[in-house]
Structure 1
Amino acid sequence: MESNRLQFWYGMIFTLLIAIISFGIARLPVFNYIGPLATAITLAFIYRQLFGYPYKLKAGIQFSAKILLRAAIVLYGLKLNINVVFSEGLPLLLKSSVVIAFAILMSYALAKLFKADMTLSMLLGVGTGVCGAAAIAAVAPIIKAKDEDTAVSVGIIALLGTIFSVVYLLIRPYVPIEDVAYGIWSGLSLHELAHVALAAEPAGEEALGFALLAKLSRVFLLVPLCLIFIWYMRRKESRTGGAKVAFPYFLIGFILMSLLNSYVIGDYIEISAQIMDSISQLTTLLLTMAMIALGLNISIKDMAGRTLKPFVLILIISILLSVLVYQIK
Structure 2
Amino acid sequence: MLRGIGTVAFSILVMYVLAKWLKADAPISLLLGIGTGGCGAAAIAAVSPILKSKEEDTAISIGIIALMGTLFSILYTVIHPLLPLSDSTYGAWAGLTLHEIAHVALAAAPAGQDTLAMALLAKLCRVFLLVPLSFFFMFWMKKRAPRNQKHQTQIEFPLFLIGFIMTSLLGSYVLGDIIPARVSEIISNFNTFILTMAMVGLGLNVNLGALKNRALRPLIAMTITSTLLSVLTVFTL
Q: TM-score range by the shorter chain?
A: over 0.9
**Alignment pair present for 1:116 and 2:24:** yes
Change (3 A) 1:168 1:250: closer
Q: Tell me, yes or no, if structure 1 residue 102 matches structure 2 residue 10.
A: yes
Q: Provide structure 2 residue ranges, at least 5 long, that are not aligned to the other structure.
A: none
SS at match of 1:140: helix
Tell me by how many angstroms 1:238 deviates.
4.3
1:153 aligns with 2:61: yes
Query: Could you say what the CA RMSD is over the residues aligned between the two structures, in angstroms?
Result: 1.6
The residue that corresponds to 1:199 in the other structure is: 107
> Which 4+ stretches in 1 moved above 4 angstroms?
none
What letter corresponds to residue 88 of structure 2 in structure 1? V
The separation in 1 between residues aligned to 2:77 and 2:212, in whole angstroms, is: 33
Aligned to 1:186: 94
Aligned-pair CA distance for 1:169: 1.1
- The alignment status of 1:255 with 2:165, answered yes or no, reads yes
- Please state how far the C-alpha of 1:243 moved relative to its aligned partner: 4.0
Taking a change above 3 Å as real, the CA distance of residues 270 and 187 of structure 1, as seen in their structure-2 partners, is: same
The SS at the match of 2:145 is helix
2:181 is aligned, of 268, 273, 278, to: 273
Calculate percent identity across the aligned residue pairs: 54
* Structure 1 CA distance for aligned equivalents of residues 105 and 211 of structure 2: 32
| 1:311 equivalent in structure 2 | 219
The residue type paired with residue 173 of structure 1 is P
Whole-Å separation in 1 of the counterparts to 2:51 and 2:191: 24
Select which of 145, 167, 174 maps to 1:264. Answer: 174
**Is the Cα–Cα contact under 8 Å of residues 40 and 65 in structure 2 kept in the other structure?**
yes
- The equivalent of 1:169 in structure 2 is 77
Q: Which residue identity is paired with 2:196?
A: T
Give 5+ residue unaligned stretches, structure 1: 1-92
Equivalent of 2:142, from 216, 222, 234?
234
What SS does structure 1 have at the residue aligned with 2:66?
helix
Question: What is the CA distance between 1:249 and its match in structure 2?
Answer: 2.9
Aligned to 1:28: none
Paired amino acid for 1:218: R
Q: Which amino acid aligns with 1:162?
A: T
Relative to structure 1, the CA distance from residue 316 to residue 240 in structure 2 (aligned partners, 3 Å threshold; closer, same or farther) is farther
TM-score by length of 1: 0.68
Specify whether residues 109 and 240 from structure 1 end up closer, same or farther in structure 2 by C-alpha distance, changes over 3 A only. Answer: farther
Structure 2: how far apart are the matches of 1:314 and 1:118? 12
| Structure whose CA Rg is larger | 1
Deviations 1:228-266 (A, max 9, x none): 011001111244737421222331221111111222224
User: For residues 164-193 of structure 1, what are the alpha-carbon distances to aligned partners after superposition, in whole Å with 9 as ceiling and x for unaligned?
Assistant: 111111111111111111111111111111
> Does the C-alpha gap of structure 1 residues 101 and 151 become closer, same or farther in structure 2, counting only changes over 3 Å?
same
Say whether 1:320 aligns with 2:221.
Answer: no
Aligned residues: 235
